[in-house]
Amino acid sequence: MKTSFLIIVPGTLGVMLFLPWWTLIFPCFIAGLVGPDRGIKALSAGMTGVGVLWLVLALMADWQNGFIMSAQVAAVMSVPVWVMYVITWAVGALTGGFACLSGYLIMKRGQ
C-alpha cells in the first residue's frame, strides 16, 4: 500500500495540474498494476490517496478565497458547507479507489 500511495499522490497531483479531473485514473491504475498484493489494499490505497489529496486541495482553494465560494454553493444546494467537502472527498475517493482496483484486477488476471 505504501508503494501505491507514493505513486498515486504525486502522480495524481501532476496529472491534474495539466489535464481534466478524470485523468487521475491513470496514476491510480498504474499503482494498482504494480503495488498491492490484495484487492482491498488496492481499493483502500486509491481511496485514501485521491480522497485525501482532493480534500486538502479543496480546503486550500477554499481557504484562499475566504470560504466564500463553498458557502455560496452550499446555499444554492441547501446543504451545510461540510457536506460539500464530503461530496468532494467521495467523488475523488471512489474514482481513485476503483481505478486502482481495476489495475490490480487486470494485473491479477494476467498472471
Read out DSSP for 63-88? HHTTTHHHHHHHHHHTS-HHHHHHHH
Dihedral sign (CA 31, 36, 42, 45): negative
Q: Could you give the number of structural domains in the chain?
A: 1
Instruction: Let me know the angle formed at the C-alpha of 75 by 72 and 76, rounded to the nearest 5 degrees.
Output: 90
Domain limits at 24?
A: 2-110
Q: What pLDDT is stored for residue 96 in this prediction?
A: 95
- Spatial separation of the C-alpha atoms in residues 95 and 98, rounded to whole Å: 5
Q: What pLDDT is stored for residue 73 in this prediction?
A: 92
User: In a structure prediction context, what are the per-residue pLDDT tens digits for the chain, which is 111 residues long?
Assistant: 778 888 999 999 999 899 998 999 999 999 999 988 899 999 999 999 999 999 999 999 999 999 999 999 999 999 999 999 999 999 999 999 999 999 999 998 877
Distances from the Cα of 30 to the Cα of 12, 39, 61, 72, 85, angstroms: 11, 14, 28, 37, 27
Residue 101: all three cell numbers together: 482496483
pTM of the model: 0.89
Q: What pLDDT is stored for residue 106 in this prediction?
A: 94
Q: What pLDDT is stored for residue 2 in this prediction?
A: 79
